[in-house]
Amino acid sequence: MKRESITQKDIAELAGVSSTVVSYVINEGPRPVAEETKRRVMNAIKELGYRPNKYAQRLRAKSTKALRQLGIILGGGSEILRRPYYGDIISGIYEEAYRQGQHIRFVHFFDELHDPLLLNSHVHQEEISAIIFFPLYSALKDPKNHALFMRIVERIPIMVCLEKAVADLPAVIFDRVGAARTAVEHLISLGHRRIGFIGGKGERIVGYRQALSEHDVPYDEAIIIHPGPKNSPGEGYEAALQLLALDEPPTAVFAVCDEVAIGAIGAFTDRGVAVPQQMAIASIDDLDLAAIVRPALTTVHVPRREMGIQALRMIAMQEAYPDSPPSSNVLRTELIIRDSCGAKLRERRS
C-alpha cells in the first residue's frame, strides 16, 4: 500500500474498529475512546505511517517538499524553557530564521514524538525541510528514544545539533572541557589548591580534573558535589552548604554553570562566608545575570545566541550545497574576570 493512499478506513481495518472511532482518536473527540482501543488505533497509525488528509492533498497537488520550513526538537523537559541559557539560544534561532526567511513550523519536546500521529503529521519532508535538535544527548541514553531518533534522521535530510554532536550529525558546539579547564586554571593562578566542584558528571568535570592534574593540584572526592540533573540555583545552594559542612572546606569553587554558581553565592552569603575574600568562585555561561549578581560573577562566556544563529546558517549552507559533506562548528569561549574570583580584589590591594 502506498503511503499517500492510506485512509482512516485502513487504520480502522487494521485496528479492528470503526472509522468513526479512528476519527475520535485522531481528533481527540468529540467522544472519549477506551485506552485499549486508543492504543490499537495508535499502533495502526504508527505501523501504516498515516498522515492527516491535508498532507495527502499536498502530495496529490505535487507539492511534495516543504521549503525553508524548520522544526525544533528539544531533548529535555519543560524546565529547559525556564532557563535563560536555552532562552538565549532560541532567541538566536528565531532572529536568524526571520532574517533568512525561514519559517519555524513547530517546537516539540522529544518525548512528545513517541505519539505516532504527531510524528507522522510533523516530521516528514512535506512539512519541514530541516530540524534543529537540542539538548538531545541525555535523552538518547534511553534505547527507546534512540530508535525514535533514528526514524527522524531517516525522514529529514538536513539536521543540526546544538551543544553536542550526536550520531555524526553536524553540530554547533563549544568546548565544554576547555571552558571548565580555563575557569579552574584561573582559580589555580590565584593561588588556590583546594578547589571544590559543583555540578553534573559530564564533560565539565573532565576539564576540572585536567586543570588540577596539569598544575599538580590534588584531586579530592570529598569536595566534588553532584547535586542533581537540573543545574539550578537551588541545587547550587544546597551543594554549597554541603561544602561548608566539611571539616576542611575548599577555598574556591568551580560551578558548572552560572545558575549553580549564583545559588552557591547565596548559600555562602547566608552562612557569613564572604565571596571572594573567604571563598572564590568561577563558572561557565556568562548569562546576563552574571554581571548583575553581587559579587559579579567570574565566568567563561559561551556565545549562546550565536549558537542559534550559526545553526540557521549551517542549515542554509546545506540547502545551498546539498552534495557537500556538512561540517560542525566549534564556537570560541572567553574568560570574563569579574569580582567573585578575587582577582580584582588583589589588583586593588597591590
E strands, the chain, where?
A: 69-74, 103-109, 130-134, 158-163, 171-174, 195-198, 224-225, 252-255, 280-285, 298-301, 329-331, 334-336
Give CATH 1.10.260.40 domain extents, the chain: 1-50
Distance CA 173, CA 330 (A): 5
Give CATH 3.40.50.2300 domain extents, the chain: 54-169, 176-302+334-349
Work out the average pLDDT over 43-63.
62
For residue 289, give every residue at least 6 positions away whose Cβ sits within 8 Å of its Cβ, in sequence order, or none. Answer: 84, 258, 262, 297
Q: Is the pLDDT of residue 181 over 50?
A: yes
Residue whose C-alpha is closest to residue 342's, from 298, 287, 311, 301: 298
Q: State pLDDT tens for residues 158-175.
A: 999 998 888 788 999 999
Task: Classify domain 176-302+334-349 at the CATH topology level.
Answer: Rossmann fold (3.40.50)
Q: State pLDDT tens for residues 69-100.
A: 899 999 877 778 888 999 999 999 999 999 99
| pTM > 0.85 | no
Q: Is the pLDDT of residue 3 over 60?
A: no
Work out the average pLDDT over 262-273.
97
Say which CATH architecture domain 1-50 belongs to: Orthogonal Bundle (1.10)
Task: Classify domain 54-169 at the CATH topology level.
Answer: Rossmann fold (3.40.50)
Identify the band that residue 322 occupies on the pLDDT scale cut at 50, 70 and 90. Answer: confident
pLDDT, greater one: 160 or 141: 160
Identify the band that residue 54 occupies on the pLDDT scale cut at 50, 70 and 90. Answer: low
